[in-house]
Amino acid sequence: MAGHSHWHNIQQAKGKADAKRGVVFTKAAQQIILAARDGGGDPNHNLTLRIAVDYARSVNMPKDNIERAIKKGTGEDSTTQLEKVVYEGYGPFKIPVVVSAITDNKNRTVNEIRNIFSKSGGELGSIGAVMWQFTESGRVTVRCVKTKSAEKFGESDTEIPVDKESATFELMDVPEIEDITEDPDEESILQVKVPMNRLAQVASRIRELGYSIVGSGQHFEANTPITLADEKWGSFESFLSILDDQQDVQHIWYAAV
């Protein structure tokens, strides 16, 4: 993703703060609820839910929170209705930005996100405002560990570390993977690019190989990234930070390097 190293450094620092944990857990719970609602509450038979649960575990979300989110998704514990939404607009310095969110109140979410854009000097646009400047693909975020699932849900899986080079060579043999890149800020993470319409099949194959998947979904890459001067990155990163703190925001893509 354009500007990844700049933004990732912020996320790493913010992720250590106690205040951030609540937002992270809320977002993880939203993913779990949607996955359980759409595919059932058994992670062993619902790959999307398994990925959401693996992500929740990777951010140290308590087991009770995970189980409660699953129950909400299957209707055992709540009637909350969540839906996915995508917003487009221009951030500071006219940088095109795409935001995905999960919300139970679209009016509240769009108003909060619009305010964040406005206060930063940007503007939230309508559908199609900036999407034409991005190319969509599928993205699978893979941890370089192989997991042996626990016999009972709630117990810890057994994890066996795999070095990045070995993992990359093995994943290269999976049909329809277009690219594999290392995450410079995460020792055990690989980003796997696939056609969006083959995302589920490729993620399933990677899971069958034993790897832990902590993210799977659409990804937007800027066609022509804008070079942002060093002195402007501080303001732009502040905007990204505030936007990421909005509890419904799941992913942010932007056309800046």
Please give the average per-residue pLDDT across 116-130, as a whole number.
Answer: 96
pLDDT bracket for residue 8 (50, 70, 90): low
With a cut of 70, say whether residue 34 has pLDDT above it.
yes
With a cut of 90, say whether residue 121 has pLDDT above it.
yes
Residue count (the chain): 257
Q: What per-residue confidence (pLDDT) applies to 59?
A: 87
pLDDT bracket for residue 6 (50, 70, 90): low
pLDDT bracket for residue 22 (50, 70, 90): confident
In the chain, pLDDT over 70 holds for what percent of residues?
87
| Domain range list for the chain | 83-133+222-254
Please give the average per-residue pLDDT across 8-25, as a whole number.
Answer: 65
Please give the average per-residue pLDDT across 7-36, as a whole number.
Answer: 75
Q: Regarding the domain delimited by 83-133+222-254, which CATH topology (the fold level of the hierarchy) does it fall under?
A: Alpha-Beta Plaits (3.30.70)
Q: Please tell me which residue, 123 or 7, carries the higher pLDDT value.
A: 123
The alpha carbon torsion through 156, 161, 166, 167 (nearest 10 deg) reads 30
Q: What per-residue confidence (pLDDT) applies to 81?
A: 81
